[in-house]
Structure 1
Amino acid sequence: MQPVFEAYADLSIRRACAFVGLATATLMVALSFDAVLSCRSGAQLVALLAVGLVMAAWRAPHRNLRHSEVYALLIDSGLPRGRLATTEMQAMLAEVLRERLLWHAERVSLIALGLWGLALLLWMLS
């Protein structure tokens, strides 16, 4: 059951990250007249995404996951509500969600670090 939870948690998290990535890329293109400013702004927004993912991971074990997108995806996949509503399944889902959120936050923070490095490099070259 855990690989199914991981797959749907990844789908939900990546969908949210894609929307934030689209907004960040749009802003960076809008600021492309100043490459350093564009990279700094992108790095700040991506770092905010990483902080948001860490905060969501911190909250995951304490919130009602029956109102989450992951739960809705699991119901749509055909898993019975009664089985998902048990305390053990909710705890397992919360732990998987927390783990996957932290995994994604780690990767997103590396992207932010890369953008900061690029901004520093461009600043030194200009």
Structure 2
Amino acid sequence: MDRIVAVADQTIRRACGFAALGVCLTMFALSFDAVLAFRAGAVLTTAVFAALLYLGHRAPRFDVRRTELWSVTGRQLRLPRERAQRLLGGVLRDRYLWHADRAALLAIGLWSAAGAVWLLRLARGAAGS
């Protein structure tokens, strides 16, 4: 069971890593305006959260034989199809939702940073007047 969870984490984290690369590069491209960069990062990270949430709720019903987790671990399970579906679908659901929770925390942090930078810019503008 630990191997199944480890493989599920590995496949999800690989996808999240590519998403994080895209978010970071977008934020870097918009770094000329810190508020805009943080807002874009927050919006994109919120989209990643929504995608992980969707995948987590879909996982128990989605055919696990079409996943990377099945190609790595499923063939060695030697379980009936229904039992393997319940086992692997449940593991994928738990791991997707765990990663969605972390993406939500990161999105909240980015939204907070955007708000803080905006408030600092607003306060600096008011002090300069």
TM-score of the two chains, using structure 2 as the length reference: 0.89
Match of 1:33 in 2: 32
Cα offset for 1:85? Answer: 5.2
Q: How does 1:107-122 map to 2 (within 5 A)?
A: 107-122=102-117
Q: Distance in 1 between matches of 2:100 and 2:68?
A: 18
Provide the residue aligned with 1:62 in structure 2: 61
Q: Which gives a bigger RCO, structure 1 or 2 (Cα 8 Å, sep 6+)? A: 1
What is the count of residue pairs matched by the alignment? 121
**Aligned match for 2:90, one of 90, 95, 98:** 95
1:8 is aligned with what amino acid?
V
State the SS of the aligned residue for 1:61: coil
Instruction: Name structure 1 gaps, 5 residues minimum.
Output: none
What percentage of aligned pairs have identical amino acids? 41
1:80 aligns with 2:76: yes
TM-score scaled by structure 1? 0.91
* C-alpha separation in 2, matches of 1:84 and 1:31: 50
RMSD: 1.3
- Could you tell me which runs of 5 or more consecutive residues in structure 2 were left unpaired when the two chains were aligned: 122-129
For residues 101 and 61 of structure 1, the distance between their equivalents in structure 2, rounded to whole angstroms, comes to 11
**Distance in 1 between the 2:44 and 2:80 partners?**
36
